[in-house]
Amino acid sequence: MSVNPFVSIRASPNSTVKEGDDVTLTCDVTKANPTVTSYVWSRTRDINNGVHTQATYTINQIQVEQNGTYTCYATAQSSRHGNLVGESSVTLTVQYRPTVTVTLKGNPVAVTEGDDVTFQCAAHGNPPVYTDYKWTHITFGSPESQEMSTGRELVLSRVTYLDNGEYVCSVRNSVGQGLGRKRLDVLYSPSIAVESRIVAASIGKPAILSISVSANPANASFTWKKSNGDKKLPVVGGIVLTGPSSLKSKLFIPSVQGSDYGQYVCTVSHTVASREFTFEIRPKGPPERPTDFRILSWTSVSVTLAWVSGFNGGSNQSFHIQYKETSRTRWQKDDQLVVSDPGYMKTSKAKVPDLNPATSYDFRLVSINKHPSTNSSGFTGAFTQKTKARPKVLDAKLSVSITPTVATVSWTISSGIEDITSYVVKYCERGTVVCNRQRVTNRTATSIVITLDDGFQDYTFSLLIYEEDDLVKVLDQPTSEPSQVQFQVGVIVGIVVAVLVLLILAVITTIVIRRFRKSKSGSEVANRETAAAGGITEMKNLNSQPQVRPPATESSIYEVPDHQANQTPIYTDLQPPSDTR
């Protein structure tokens, strides 16, 4: 009896797969009469629109667009009933990481400085379950990025040119991470970096006032005027574009006269807003006093100071910190620290070292260039600060446990830990100046594990104890205890030496035995030759027939000297006795 094929489908490894995986669909026929002769796979449930014609259908590196229902048609040809068709379907679900889209709320045509901006992050993935939304800001022209807040929206209030850049939203599901990006291009009026707007010039010498601004769009006009004057002054080289959003203009005075000293105003006109910037030309002279002179920190042996540099008077300047114990009445020139100038309106820092613990000190600051001081310059300060008492690090002990690849350095400190800020473990190859250091910033720590580069190298260990960045105590590893590494190296060396000694002894023994055997063999040969010679002599004595010597001739090689004529030759032919009868 003819029957339609009974069909089922198997999906391997599963009907739910991740994008990029391979999946195999198998069309199983459990019952058919007659036998199935053809297969067709279709995605549209149309036997005439097939995508594959084998019982097994493998999809390599499946993509999202290959989601959907797949139907297998199995056909058996019956002479009586024609084509008998069985079918079965399976739905493939392709999971994929999120596709992320970032937009600006309200879709503004342009963003101007001072506006509020909201970024929105939308994700579409399968499964649609997302673990987090993270925002990152990448400044234009910079490889560095800054992590922002989390959430589906990112709000920026009163944006400035510093907010320009690319904003990235990252979203993750169980398959992977998706990224969405959006550029923010803030239109802003001209801004000037912190730089000196004072120029010092001597009479008859040239002077140049220069201004560099950043603006978006990078299109502006510059006008220079003397303060309280209406006359426009000529610029040098016009307006120069020095970057994607940077513009520069210069005012040139070829020969400064007394009337040229004073203030100047540069007006920068821009589509967003216009701004004015003030400059000044003054005679060369002493530097301005530094400002914001202050104490940053202090320890038992040092005090760290900071200040902001002023105009250098047209010449290179340096800063001199003078200090003395408060109990002393006079400042000493030897007790001073000299610091170079980092630039106009830049902050400088300096540490005064090697002070006495628990002692009050006075500090003052002066800026100096090649011009003599006037009433407008001089010392800034003075401050009084008492150093801390030296930390009482009592009963401090250091121990080291070493294996061939790891060293565990431990220490105990019974008191004084409240003044400690960090530790440094210093370990050096014994007998050399090759050292490494590892810092421990947790002052309550009592040990550190160090991975050794060379397990067979012997090291010495020290613990350096710090208050801020001042070294207050050094603990050295006890020298009476040999390190385990050193012991293991000794054992290894001993084994190697023992093996070498055994090899040498074996070689010597072999040589002696060979020589002894050779000597013994030579003695036996000599004995045999001696015995043979003795037998011949005895047989000769038994022969009573006198021996006849061959007649001598001049050329005979058998001629015997006269003094040997009566001697019996060693080698004599043995002949039978003649018959005398």
Task: Find the distance separating the first CA and the last CA of the chain, reported in whole Å.
Answer: 138
Beta bridge mates, 268: 222, 275
Q: Is residue 361 part of a domain?
A: yes
pLDDT in the model for residue 514: 79
Residue with tokens 């990078």, as numbered in its chain: 218
Q: Does pTM top 0.75 for this prediction? A: no
pLDDT surpassing 50 at residue 264: yes
Q: Is residue 250 part of a domain?
A: yes
Please report, for the domain that includes residue 8, its CATH number.
2.60.40.10
pLDDT surpassing 50 at residue 122: yes
d(CA 204, CA 258): 9
How large is the average pLDDT for residues 118-125?
A: 95
> Last residue of a domain, which of 232, 258, 282?
282
How large is the average pLDDT for residues 254-262?
A: 91
Of the ranges 98-102, 112-116, 187-191, 369-373, which one carries the lowest mean pLDDT score? 369-373
Contact 459, 409 (CB under 8 A): no
> Are residue 278 and residue 302 in the same domain, yes or no?
no
> Last residue of a domain, which of 486, 520, 535?
486
d(CA 294, CA 197): 25
> Last residue of a domain, which of 282, 301, 332?
282
Q: Is residue 508 part of a domain?
A: no
d(CA 281, CA 263): 6
Torsional class of 88: left (φ above 0), alpha (ψ -120 to 50), beta (otherwise): beta
pLDDT in the model for residue 227: 84
> Are residue 274 and residue 199 in the same domain, yes or no?
yes
Per residue in 146-164, pLDDT tens?
999 899 999 999 999 889 9
What sign for the dihedral angle of Cα 14, 18, 23, 28?
Answer: positive
d(CA 62, CA 426): 56
> Are residue 298 and residue 382 in the same domain, yes or no?
yes
pLDDT in the model for residue 567: 44
Q: Which is more confidently placed, 539 or 253?
A: 253
Alpha-carbon distances of 141 from 50, 227, 438, rounded to whole Å? 53, 38, 35
Q: Is residue 10 part of a domain?
A: yes
> Are residue 340 and residue 416 in the same domain, yes or no?
no
Instruction: Give the side-chain half-sphere CA count within 13 A for 176.
Output: 10
> Are residue 319 and residue 251 in the same domain, yes or no?
no
Q: Which is more confidently placed, 24 or 417?
A: 24
d(CA 11, CA 337): 80
Most confidently predicted of 228-237, 493-502, 543-552: 493-502
> Are residue 277 and residue 295 in the same domain, yes or no?
no
How large is the average pLDDT for residues 476-488?
A: 56
Q: Is residue 103 part of a domain?
A: no
One-letter amino acid at 441 equals: T
pLDDT surpassing 90 at residue 132: no
> Are residue 49 and residue 72 in the same domain, yes or no?
yes
pLDDT in the model for residue 565: 41
> Are residue 90 and residue 12 in the same domain, yes or no?
yes
Q: Is residue 318 part of a domain?
A: yes
What are the φ/ψ torsions at residue 109 (nearest 5 degrees)? -70, -40
Residue with tokens 């340096």, as numbered in its chain: 318
Q: Quick one: three-class SS letters along 316-384?
A: CCEEEEEEEECCCCCCCCCCEEEEECCCCCCEEEEEECCCCCCCEEEEEEEEECCCCCCCCCCEEEEEE
Q: Is residue 9 part of a domain?
A: yes
pLDDT surpassing 80 at residue 101: yes
Torsional class of 43: left (φ above 0), alpha (ψ -120 to 50), beta (otherwise): alpha
Per residue in 292-321, pLDDT tens?
999 999 998 999 999 999 899 889 999 999
Contact 405, 451 (CB under 8 A): yes
Q: Are strands 240-243 and 50-52 parallel, antiparallel or unpaired?
A: unpaired
Of the ranges 10-19, 239-248, 512-521, 557-566, which one carries the lowest mean pLDDT score? 557-566
d(CA 555, CA 131): 125
How large is the average pLDDT for residues 195-217?
A: 89
pLDDT in the model for residue 242: 66
Number of domains in the chain: 4
Three-class DSSP category at 179: strand
> Are residue 223 and residue 307 in the same domain, yes or no?
no
Average pLDDT, the chain: 83
d(CA 213, CA 195): 11
pLDDT surpassing 70 at residue 481: no
Contact 396, 413 (CB under 8 A): yes
One-letter amino acid at 411 equals: W
Per residue in 359-410, pLDDT tens?
999 999 999 998 887 544 578 777 899 998 877 776 788 889 888 788 899 9
Q: Quick one: three-class SS letters along 83-105?
A: EEEEEEEEEEEEEEEEEEEEEEC
High-pLDDT (> 90) share of the chain, %: 45
pLDDT in the model for residue 571: 37
pLDDT in the model for residue 351: 94
d(CA 139, CA 164): 6
pLDDT surpassing 60 at residue 216: yes
pLDDT in the model for residue 443: 83
> Are residue 241 and residue 301 in the same domain, yes or no?
no
> Are residue 234 and residue 273 in the same domain, yes or no?
yes
> Are residue 12 and residue 90 in the same domain, yes or no?
yes
Contact 285, 343 (CB under 8 A): no
pLDDT in the model for residue 21: 95
pLDDT surpassing 80 at residue 91: yes
Q: Which range of residues forms the domain containing residue 381?
A: 291-386
What sign for the dihedral angle of Cα 74, 78, 81, 82?
Answer: positive
What are the structure tokens assigned to 288, written together? Answer: 């301005």
pLDDT in the model for residue 195: 66
Q: Is residue 130 part of a domain?
A: no
Place 355 in a pLDDT band, splitting at 50, 70 and 90. Answer: very high
DSSP result, 142-162: -S-EEEEEESSEEEE-S--GG
